[in-house]
Structure formats: structure tokens, C-alpha cells
Chains A and B, each alone.
Chain A
Amino acid sequence: GQQLNQSPQSMFIQEGEDVSMNCTSSSIFNTWLWYKQDPGEGPVLLIALYKAGELTSNGRLTAQFGITRKDSFLNISASIPSDVGIYFCAGHHSGNTPLVFGKGTRLSVIA
């Protein structure tokens, strides 16, 4: 099945650093979503993007819906230890079609 190309696969950063990850696709999406999964838990929705070019923030998190509708990025500013987890991007084509997920970016924060 189709998957989004999410990068990087994993990151090790120092506490306080900024983080950037992105997702790309060969096809157009109408919605981009970013999720975070803590160890042993289900994914939790962080940010939803509905319009090409849209830039949305949620605290220290900022995500953008690419203008071509084929990509999205997520930035985390001033990382803290609780940012550790797996971040997933997901895209939605239209209607009741299933979400398409990236394979995730595993973030580790070194204090």
C-alpha cells in the first residue's frame, strides 16, 4: 500500500535544540496530520492541517502544509525530555478513504 516518506527515521538531539522532520508523497493530500506516540501508548494527534500553505502552531510545535500539497513538515522548538517518542505524519486524500501513515521519526532527547 501507499506510504508517506518520512524523514529522518531517527534523531538524537540535545535538550534545548530545535527539531525538524518532514513527510513527502508522490500524490496530493487534502489533509495532513501529525501524531506523537509515547512508549506503550497509542498515537495522539498533535496538529491537523487542512489547507495548502497553512502554518499551524501548538505550543512549541509548528507544522506546515506544503504548497504543492505533497509534503508537510513539523518543527519542535527548544526540545525537552518529554518530547521523546515517535512522531508520525499522516495524509488523507478525500472522503472516507483511509489515512496514509509515514513510518515515523523516533526522537531521543539527551539531557
Chain B
Amino acid sequence: NAGVTQTPKFQVLKTGQSMTLQCAQDMNHEYMSWYRQDPGMGLRLIHYSVGAGITDQGEVPNGYNVSRSTTEDFPLRLLSAAPSQTSVYFCASSAGQEQFFGPGTRLTVL
């Protein structure tokens, strides 16, 4: 099992550009989520999904869109990147209580 995979590992964007952060898991987990991590702020939940076709907002959803068309994939879209979205982004999945995290995407918006 590859577990939770994320691409790209690093990305630099200009303000206003759009991009999609990819997340995939091969553990057949129903629950998937996206977090952002900023210094001193811990992990903040952006969006989550309890299964294919179902998504919900977390603590900091503004500026981000998600969709869940398959169990395996949960992409995170930035429609118009802003410098405030410079952060490290983590995807996670779980079948029960225990969440497993991907390696992260480090995003810089100039």
C-alpha cells in the first residue's frame, strides 16, 4: 500500500493563478480531509469528505474548493491564489478514528 499520496511536493504560484493539489489513498478509506499548517497555528481543517459525493466545510474553507467523485481521490482546488494561502497542505484519510496523513504539499504564493 502506498497509503496517502500527495502531488506536487512543492509549488510556487503567482497571485491570481489557479491550481489543484492532488490527494489519493489506496486504503479504501471513506473519510478524507485537507488541512493547512502554518507556524504556531497547528493543523487547521479546510474541507472534509465522509464518502464519495459528499463534502463539507472545515474551519478555514474560504478560497478552496473540493470534490469527491471517487473513494480514492480528493483534490483541493485554489481558484485564485492569494499570498495568505502560502502554507503547507496535508491530506489525510481514515476508516475509523485514526487518521493517516500524506507527506504534504508546500505552496508559496507570490
State how many angstroms separate the Cβ of B33 from the closest Cβ of chain A. Answer: 6
- The verdict on A88 contacting chain B, using a C-beta distance below 8 Å, is yes
Provide the A43-57 mask, 1 if CB < 8 A to any CB of B, else 0.
111001010000000
Chain A residues within 8 Å of B, Cβ to Cβ: 1, 3, 31, 33, 35, 40-45, 48, 50, 88, 90, 92, 96, 98-99, 101-104
* Size range of the chain B interface in the assembly: 20 to 34
Closest-by-CB residue of B relative to A103 is B42
Chain B residues within 8 Å of A, Cβ to Cβ: 4, 31, 33, 40-45, 48, 50, 58-59, 90, 92, 97-104
State how many angstroms separate the Cβ of A26 from the closest Cβ of chain B. Answer: 17
The reply to whether B98 and A104 contact each other, CB–CB distance below 8 Å, is no
The reply to whether A42 and B101 contact each other, CB–CB distance below 8 Å, is yes
In the complex, A99→B103 CA distance in Å? 18
The reply to whether B103 and A41 contact each other, CB–CB distance below 8 Å, is yes
The reply to whether A45 and B100 contact each other, CB–CB distance below 8 Å, is yes
Closest-by-CB residue of A relative to B48 is A98
In the complex, A1→B59 CA distance in Å? 6
- Residues on B with C-beta less than 8 A from A90 are 99
The reply to whether B98 and A48 contact each other, CB–CB distance below 8 Å, is yes
With A33-B98, A50-B97, A104-B42 already in contact, 14 other A-B pairs whose C-beta atoms are closer than 8 Å? A1-B45, A3-B42, A33-B97, A35-B101, A41-B104, A42-B4, A42-B90, A42-B92, A43-B90, A44-B101, A45-B100, A48-B97, A96-B31, A98-B48
